[in-house]
């Protein structure tokens, strides 16, 4: 699960002019928009756990096709990288889980 921010110039109804805004995304869903001049925040309700489960399902359900694609792209390369990838998988999984926990914790604090 990824949290990202983007700056955009939008019309603010409180300032009555076009001002810079900070848009916060979790995965591809907008969660909040804040005017950088008047600091008015528009929060968009997002079910964070639904987003987490949707991302998890997507990763699990597409894994066979992603492995098949890598296999067809180059068998020698695929087989040579497989032992290292298998050994590093627990670390990568824990890293992804910790990042997701951090995003969920930040989101729930609001």
Tokens standing for residue 62: 């597409």
| CA quadruple 9, 51, 87, 74: dihedral sign | negative
Question: Which pLDDT value is given to residue 106?
Answer: 83
57-75 b/e with 16+ CB inside 10 Å = b?
eeeeeeeeeeeeeeeeeee
Query: Tokens in use for 13?
Result: 């109804």
Residues contacting residue 43 through CB under 8 Å, at least 6 positions apart: 31, 32, 110
Per-residue pLDDT, 49: 87
Q: pTM of this prediction? A: 0.68
Per-residue model confidence (pLDDT) at position 48:
86
pLDDT confidence of residue 33: 94
**pLDDT of the chain, 110 residues: tens digit per residue:** 888 999 999 999 888 999 999 999 988 889 999 999 999 999 988 888 888 888 889 988 998 998 899 889 998 988 898 899 889 988 988 998 899 889 888 887 76
């Amino acid at each position: 699960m990824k949290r990202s921010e983007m700056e955009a110039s939008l019309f603010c109804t409180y300032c009555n002019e076009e001002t810079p805004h900070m848009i916060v995304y979790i995965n591809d869903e907008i969660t909040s928009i804040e005017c950088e001049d008047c600091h008015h925040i528009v929060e968009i309700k997002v079910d964070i756990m639904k987003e987490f489960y949707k991302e998890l399902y997507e990763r699990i359900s597409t894994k066979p096709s992603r492995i098949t694609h890598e296999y067809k792209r180059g068998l020698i390369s695929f087989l040579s990288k497989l032992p290292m990838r298998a050994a590093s998988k627990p670390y990568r999984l824990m890293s992804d889980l910790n990042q997701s926990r951090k995003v969920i914790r930040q989101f729930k604090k609001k």
